[in-house]
Amino acid sequence: MTGGFTGTGLVKRYRRDAETVHALAGVDLTVAAGELVALVGPSGSGKSTLLALLCGWETADAGRLAYSGLPADRRPDTLGWPELALVPQALGLVAELSLLDNVLLPARLRGTAAAEQGRAAALLADFGLDHLADRYPSQASLGEQQRAAVARALLLRPGVLLADEPTAHQDRDSADRLLDAVVAAARDGAAVLVATHDEIAWARADRVLSMRDGRITEGPPR
Ligand code: ADP
Ligand code: MG
């Protein structure tokens, strides 16, 4: 089981034609097991890039990542859903699967879908999706799809939970229910990092980190 994680001196540059974008310009952060941290910053400040490094989709140009409970050389792209789960900004639901089967996907990949049926049904009910279980993503609203993506990430009670603007498409009530579940995951011991513009989400966090121009400062934006 993973718990907290630490990033040290993280640098990520993207080349765009002749221009180099310093998406991350030396980021240090630690999120402890059991802690919910909100990552706040304007569009383009590097939030999604940081999550992409932390989940192993992108590789840092410099810096180190460490996940507690795992060997220091364990790379994030080798972590499975029980160790690290992500709610991508673009959700990443599988179009060919029902919402229920999308939520069950992490268990299906491990051969434990039967054992997780009850948990999947409970998550769908918590998020007001029980009547939509058999619908395909294209037959659900964006907000409903987003709630399914959060349920999928929570299914296996991950040690690390990364969520990219998970309340972006929600009304206040639905956002509160999502945040209740995210807070509960942290209280159960997950290390949770949520990129968010939602001030109510910051209020539920144990700590707020502000991101601007690829750098992080402790505390809410000024
Ligand atoms: P945020 O999630 O805070 O809106 P991003 O991490 O998506 O910010 O982007 C940070 C910066 O890196 C932006 O300037 C963005 O345009 C740039 N960027 C992100 N991904 C790429 C990419 N694949 N290629 C080039 N530039 C990118
Ligand atoms: Mg983003």
37: β partners: 193, 207
Ligand 1 atom with minimal separation from the 41 CA: 3
Structure tokens, 11: 């640098």
Tell me: pLDDT of 155 over 90.
yes
- Report d(CA 145, CA 91) in Å as an integer: 8
Give the distance (Å) from ligand 2 centre to CA of residue 113. 31
Q: Ligand 1 atom closest to Cα of 24?
A: 10
User: Torsion angle, CA of 26/43/218/160, rounded to 10 degrees?
Assistant: -80
Pocket lining: 23 vs ligand 1, CB cutoff 6 Å? yes
**Across residues 204-213, what is the average pLDDT?**
97
pLDDT band at 74; cut points 50, 70, 90 = confident
Average pLDDT over residues 210-222: 94
**45 CA: nearest ligand 1 atom:** 3
Q: Is 113 in the pocket of ligand 1 (CB under 6 A)?
A: no
Q: Which of 31-45, 64-78, 164-178, 186-200 has the lowest mean pLDDT?
A: 64-78
- According to the model, what pLDDT value does residue 72 have? 79
Nearest ligand to the CA atom of 87? 2
The answer on pLDDT for 14 being more than 70 is: yes
Question: What confidence score (pLDDT) does residue 222 get?
Answer: 82
- Alpha-carbon dihedral sign for residues 118, 36, 186, 181: negative
> What per-residue confidence (pLDDT) applies to 3?
78
The CATH number of 4-92+158-218 is 3.40.50.300
Q: pLDDT-based confidence at 71, cuts 50/70/90?
A: confident
Q: How many angstroms does the Cα of residue 46 sit away from the middle of ligand 2?
A: 7
What is the reported pLDDT for 2? Answer: 58
Q: Which residues pair with 67 in a beta bridge?
A: 5
For 138-153, what is the mean pLDDT? Answer: 98
Tell me the pLDDT band of 1, cut-offs 50, 70 and 90: low
- Taking the CA atoms of residue 10, residue 165, residue 2 and residue 85 in that order, the dihedral angle to the nearest 10 degrees is -120
State which ligand 1 atom lies nearest to the alpha carbon of 42.
3
Question: For the chain, what is the mean pLDDT?
Answer: 95
* Mode of pairing for the β-strands spanning 215-218 and 62-67: unpaired
Q: Domain ranges in the chain? A: 4-92+158-218
Q: What pTM does this model have? A: 0.96
Q: What distance in angstroms lies between residue 47's CA and the mean position of ligand 2's atoms? A: 5
